[in-house]
Amino acid sequence: MSVRFKVVIPARYGSTRLPGKPLLPIAGRPMIAHVCERAREAGADEIVVATDDDRICQAVRALGIEAVMTRADHQSGTERIAEVVEQRGWAGGEIIVNLQGDEPLIDPAYLRETAAVLAGQRQAGIATLAAEIHDGEEIFNPNAVKVVLNRHGHALYFSRAPIPWDRDGFAEGRKLLSGRMPYYRHIGMYAYTVDFLRRYCGWEASDLEKTESLEQLRILWQGEAIAVKVVDKVPPAGVDTFEDLQRVEEFLSIAM
């Protein structure tokens, strides 16, 4: 059964490392065009780019994609998406997938899977993805966010630290995986119901969120469930640096 969903793409102009990032050219097109194409390939019912910059807004509309101007003071992509939801007046049960504006290589199947996970259960108003970690060094990499799951496939906790702590296994060598239980890396893609996003807007950032710099901890702090689907692999990294831009340029130039 196919799941109906919308995709909202938060896209800021003021990136510290790559100013104007969504408009930087990749294989002859602005990066945001490639991201929108991935959303189209996923079969989204509607695609909206949420931005705080008129240059991005105009470029997106020139592609035939809807763009919405949002406030400049949002602290996260989720907050920006929540503003779009209110502007559009979408119904409470609709599923919204958050696709970051710097993910031109995302597999469209992951968008569909995230929406399907959310549609397939009733306890959580938000769903996300994770992939098993096979490299011991990755567990100790603070840029690789780890997640621990309960028996229902819901997140117990997210952390930049190595969780769970393998007391005996790590005593033998921190790069060794004992195999006692799997470790999962969080993939920062989310699907939400509109009702969830409206609740989210009323919550202050928690101390956990501020300490780990992980917005999803605000949700666990409130006692809400986050459904997690384990997929086969982590998707290609997004574009954060000029080197990332070159990597994606090379990949897409060959693919096209």
What is the Cα–Cα distance from 154 to 152, expressed in whole angstroms?
6
In this structure, the answer to whether residues 155 and 226 fall within a common structural domain is yes
Tens digit of each residue's pLDDT (9 = 90 or more) over 136-156: 888 889 989 999 999 999 999
Q: Is residue 161 part of a domain?
A: yes
In this structure, the answer to whether residues 5 and 49 fall within a common structural domain is yes
How sure is the predictor about 76, in pLDDT bands with cuts at 50, 70 and 90?
confident
Residue 136 identity = G
Q: Is residue 115 part of a domain?
A: no
What is the Cα–Cα distance from 25 to 117, expressed in whole angstroms?
34
In this structure, the answer to whether residues 145 and 209 fall within a common structural domain is yes
CATH of the domain at 156: 3.90.550.10
Name the residue with tokens 């938000």: 126
In this structure, the answer to whether residues 93 and 152 fall within a common structural domain is no
Q: Taking Cα atoms as reference points, which of 123, 119, 113, 96 lies closest to residue 10?
A: 96
Number of domains the chain is built from: 2
In this structure, the answer to whether residues 16 and 31 fall within a common structural domain is yes
In this structure, the answer to whether residues 54 and 14 fall within a common structural domain is yes
In this structure, the answer to whether residues 2 and 71 fall within a common structural domain is yes
Percentage of residues of the chain with pLDDT beyond 70: 95
Give whole-number Cα distances, 16 to 203, 240, 241, in Å: 27, 9, 10
Q: Is residue 8 part of a domain?
A: yes
Q: Is residue 122 part of a domain?
A: no
| Res 172: pLDDT | 66
In this structure, the answer to whether residues 85 and 140 fall within a common structural domain is no
Q: Is residue 119 part of a domain?
A: no
Helix (H/G/I), strand (E/B), else coil: 3: coil
157 and 147 Cβ atoms separated by less than 8 Å: yes
Token pair of 139, please? 């567990």
What is the Cα–Cα distance from 129 to 103, expressed in whole angstroms?
15
Token pair of 132, please? 């098993």
In this structure, the answer to whether residues 93 and 138 fall within a common structural domain is no
130 and 230 Cβ atoms separated by less than 8 Å: yes
| Predicted model pTM | 0.89
Q: Which of 15-19, 26-30, 170-174, 185-189 has the lowest mean pLDDT?
A: 170-174
> With the CA atoms of 17, 209, 118 and 50 taken in that order, what torsion angle do they form, in degrees rounded to the nearest 10?
-40
| Res 36: pLDDT | 94
In this structure, the answer to whether residues 100 and 52 fall within a common structural domain is yes
| Res 171: pLDDT | 67
In this structure, the answer to whether residues 75 and 140 fall within a common structural domain is no
What is the Cα–Cα distance from 57 to 11, expressed in whole angstroms?
9
Token pair of 164, please? 């769970």
Domain range for residue 36? 1-106+238-255
How sure is the predictor about 207, in pLDDT bands with cuts at 50, 70 and 90?
very high
In this structure, the answer to whether residues 99 and 154 fall within a common structural domain is no
Q: Is residue 113 part of a domain?
A: no
Token pair of 120, please? 């397939």
Q: Is residue 120 part of a domain?
A: no
